[in-house]
Structure formats: structure tokens, C-alpha cells
Chains A and B, each alone.
Chain A
Amino acid sequence: MPIIYEPVVRCGDGWSRAAPDAPALEVEGLHFAYPDGHVALRGVSLQVRCGEKVALVGPNGAGKSTLLLHLNGLLNGGQGSVRVMGMPVTTSNLPFIRARVGLVFQNPDDQLFSPTVYEDVAFGPLHMGLPEDEVRRRVAQALAQVGMAHYADRLSYHLSMGEKKRVAIATVLSMHPDILVLDEPSAGLDPRARRGLINLLRSLPITMLASTHDMLMVRELFPRMVIMDEGRIVADGPTAELLAQPELLEAHGLEAL
């Protein structure tokens, strides 16, 4: 099975090669409160450069998912700003932003809403208005990338959890995003499926931001780690350095390895 994706660090306009240290994501002073009054973000600032793989950790309720939903404009309305590839996230920019940021939800049953795997992977490209043969090409490519090339005609609800996760990732890869944003990618996977997912994420040449509780995966896969707690970023640095501070980890509900 030949691998048909280009192993370049992708950043910039789709497949083009931008300067490897150009900022891909810029979040500045982001505040957000849900309609019921619950304050989820209290001034979050974060920069992710092209090609970086960043882990977002912290206890439940720290605001990780809320932050991720801001990255492609599913949530907005608070103070602060989000820029993706230099483009501010505003209502008029949303269609472009959503093609740049590939958001993979935690529960693949929410993400895979079409009857067949093929239709789900084709959903994004089709809504970008791409011609049909380009859509087919991208679907084949994305499914090959996640190792699910033979599953195109399968029904989504017949797949195992690990397979669903892979397809969920393919559904955003087919849009050729610049940044892959994952919400708890390894949650609910058995050890073998988790191992397969880690290898897959490592093989993808793409900027990545993933919220997770899986510290072993963080150590293995993400050189940079950001700790969030109570709507703020409390630490941001090289994973090895932060993991070497057990007091810091325990203060924010994390376990030292």
C-alpha cells in the first residue's frame, strides 16, 4: 500500500510550505462565559507555531474544550481574539477558518453522522465546494493516511471505537487543514487502539493541538505542554521540563509520571 501524502510540515495555504516558525494559532486575552453564567475562560493567551505538536492538559472543567471550540469559531462572543494563520476568526471568515482548523471531537459518534464512512470523509470537501473528482481524490487520500482505505463503503455504526476514531480524523484530514485540533483523542480506546492512534498522530506531518488526560501519550508525542486550570493557562513549556515538577502537576490535578 503506497503512502500518497507528502511528508512535509504543512502550514500556510493548504499544501504550501510556509516558514516553519510562522505562527499558526494566536489566541490573545480570551474570555468566555456560557449563557448559564459559568465562566470557562478567564484571559487565555496562547501561540502555536507551524509544525508544533502541543498538548493541552488540566483537570475536567479547566476550559480546555471551550478553548478548542473557539479555534474554529464554534464558540465566540467573549473578549479577546483568535487568529488562525494570521486570519482573525470573525463571522465573515468562518468558512475559511473551518477549512484551516480540523477539529476532531471527543466522541466519534458525534462526528460521524453520515451512513457510510465514505460520505463522512467526503462531507467537509463537498461543503468546501470542491469538484467531485477532487473530493474523491481527497477521500481516498485521507482514508489511506489513517490506514482505513478499505473501509470506505462500511457503515459507520458497524466500526469499532478505534476505527471510528481513525475515520473521525480522516474526516478533517480530507479538508487539508493547517492545524489539527483534537479533543481527548485517546479517551475510551483499548491499549492496542491507543497505540495505533499514537503512531498515526506521530506520522501526520501537521501542526497539532490536543487536549488530553493521557500523560504517557503527552510525554511520547508532544514536545510542548500547556497546563490549564480554572480558565487560565498556568504553565507552558517543554514537556520534559514540566513533567519534572511534580508539585506543579499535583497542584493542578495532574499525576506525575
Chain B
Amino acid sequence: MMLPNTLDRYHDRPSSIHDLDPRVKVVVTLLGIFSVLWLPDGAWGAYGLVWCMVLAVALVAQLGVGWVLRRSLVALPFALVAITLVFTLPGQTLFTLQLGGWEIRASDAGLVRFGSVLVRSWLSVQMAILLVATTRIPDLLHALRHLRVPTLLVTILAFMVRYLSVLVDEVTRLLRARQARSAASAQGKAGGSLLWRARIAGNMAGQLFLRSLERSDRIYSAMLARGFRGQYVTVNPHRMRRRDWLALGVALAALGMLQWLGRALS
């Protein structure tokens, strides 16, 4: 049995952020991410302001500042891809590196661009973390559905969420069955050749695929048995209340202000 929290990033707290309509949270998060990406390079003041906002939301949502920071570090390795910017943008040369026969030049404009990309992606990740930590996955799916994201896409996401843990269990069982029989005898070395082991791994992948295929067949039968005729229908459990509209208005105003400040300051 897999620990449910490996997939579920939701943290149940009695906060006003958790209580907001998920549609508001999805829209504000997406707009927040776009608006951070939209800020000009080197608008450090505005970046700082965004970070303060993120921290404020984390505090109101009772998640703790340190927790959000720790979670957000996972994104940094991906952002490092942008390091090439330092050496490719034209500008004043800061230093040069000798790499074999090549000489590469670091420019100041490149460094600023790289720093900005790093900070912006890190801020975006923090916003996304806040969204999934304060919104249950079914509510997120509802929000997407009611924001007119194509039904097929949302349904695929819903099935993925539902069956990822089942699939991981399946893999765990396969691996365990292999381990249980991976013994060594007193004579000769254990493990077999690389080719042989690769073939076993390939067989396991095939097994997993076949099992998933059969399961999808059974799920489809279960859907048909309950009257599924090709259109996914759900109830709408969410209603926008006064405080949802208020939160949406305040957030949009803050993001607008941010854009203005970011341009005015830099």
C-alpha cells in the first residue's frame, strides 16, 4: 500500500484561503504566474513584492513560510537550464572562460536575465504550491471543468489522479515479486547478465502495460454499466459568494498594481 501523501499535496487547515472558491484560486494563481513572467528583467523590487505576497498568503493559509520555501526548492534544478543565457546574450563582458579551444564570454545583461528567470520561475512554483496545498484535487478538477477547460482534458486528469496510486501499487507488487525471487545460490554469482536483466525489466514493463490495458477495459465496462454514453456529466457543488468575488477583485487589483510598479521601478 502506497502512502497517500506521496500524491496528495493538500494540507487541510481551517483558513480563509482554503475556504475560497477553487475557481478563484485557479484563476488568481494562473494570472499571478503570468504576471510574474511578464515583469521586466531585473525588476528586483517587484520580485520582492511578489515574494511578500506569496509569504502573506502562506501565512494566512497557515502553511508556514519555511514549508513553502522547502517545497519550492525542487524547481531550482530545472531553472538552471537557463544558465546558458549568461553566455549568449550580448552585453558588457564580465569574465571569460577557456573551454578547450573555445572562449566563452559572460555578459552583464545575460547575468541579469539569468537571475530574473531563476527568481521568476521560483516565484511561480511557489504560487502553484500554494494552490495545490490549499485546494483538494477534486475541487481543482471541478474548477478546471467550470472554467471551460476541454472536458476530455479534465477527464484524463481525473483518471490520472484516481489511478496513479493504483498503478504505483501495481509496480510495487511486481518489483516485490521480483525481489522475493532474486536469491543467490552458494556457488556462482547471482544476478545474471545485463542483457538477461534488461529482458526481465522489459517483461515487467509489458506486464504493467497489459494489466493497465485490461483494467481500463474493466473501468470502461463499469462506466457503461452505469449508463455512460460518451458524455461526462458532473454536479456543480461550487457557488461564488461575496467573499470569493472580493478576493478575486483584491487579487486582480494587486496584480495590476504589480505590473505598474514593476515597470515604474526598473
Contacts and interface: CB of A to CB of B under 8 A. Distances in A.
Interface of A: 69, 72, 74, 95, 98-99, 103, 105, 107, 109-116, 119, 122-124, 126-128, 132, 135-136, 155-158, 171-172, 175
B199 to A, nearest CB: 26
Contacts of B227: 95, 98-99, 124, 127-128, 175
Interface in B192-247: 215, 218-219, 221-229, 233-236
B222 A127 contact: no
A124 B138 CA distance: 18
Given A126-B234, A136-B235, A110 B229 contact: no
A72 B158 contact: no
Contacts of B163: 113
Q: Which of B4, B227, B234 has the most CB of A within 10 A?
A: B227
Given A98-B227, A119-B234, A157-B166, A113 B222 contact: yes
A103 B223 CA distance: 10
6 contacts: A105-B225, A110-B218, A115-B158, A122-B234, A136-B235, A155-B8
Contact of B162 (A107, A127, A156, A172): A156
A94 B225 CA distance: 9
Contact of A69 (B8, B166, B215, B221): B221
Nearest to B231: A127
Given A110-B215, A126-B235, A103 B225 contact: yes
A172 B138 contact: no
7 interchain residue pairs of minimum CB distance: A127-B227, A124-B226, A115-B138, A110-B218, A126-B233, A103-B225, A116-B138
A115 B163 CA distance: 9
B137 A98 contact: no
A115 B233 contact: no
Nearest to B8: A155
Interface string B142-163: 0000000000000000110111
B225 A98 contact: yes
A110 B226 CA distance: 13
Contacts of A111: 222
A111 B138 CA distance: 18
Contacts of B219: 110, 113
Determine which residue in B141, B161, B221 has the highest number of CB atoms from chain A within 10 A of its CB, and name it: B221
B159 A113 contact: yes
A105 B218 contact: yes
A136 B236 CA distance: 11
A155 B235 contact: no
Contacts of B235: 119, 122, 126, 132, 135-136
A157 B165 contact: yes
Given A110-B221, A123-B226, A123-B228, 5 more contacts: A98-B226, A111-B222, A113-B163, A115-B161, A127-B233
Contacts of B166: 109, 157
Q: Which range contains the number of B residues in contact with the other chain? A: 20 to 34
Given A113-B223, A119-B138, A127-B228, A158 B233 contact: no
Contact of B4 (A116, A136, A157): A157
B225 A155 contact: no
Contacts of A155: 4, 8, 136-138
Contacts of B234: 119, 122, 126
B224 A113 contact: no
B221 A157 contact: no
Nearest to A124: B226
Contacts of B228: 123, 127
A95 B231 CA distance: 14
A108 B138 CA distance: 19
Interface string B57-74: 000000000000000000
A22 B158 CA distance: 42
Nearest to A123: B226
A72 B8 CA distance: 36
Contacts of B136: 155
Contacts of B161: 115
Contacts of B138: 115-116, 119, 155
Nearest to A139: B235
A122 B228 CA distance: 12
A94 B83 CA distance: 60
A105 B162 contact: no
B221 A95 contact: no
A127 B137 contact: no
- Most chain B beta-carbon contacts within 10 A, residue among A126, A128, A156: A126
A69 B225 CA distance: 9
A155 B158 CA distance: 12
A115 B226 contact: no
Contacts of B222: 103, 105, 110-111, 113
B250 to A, nearest CB: 28
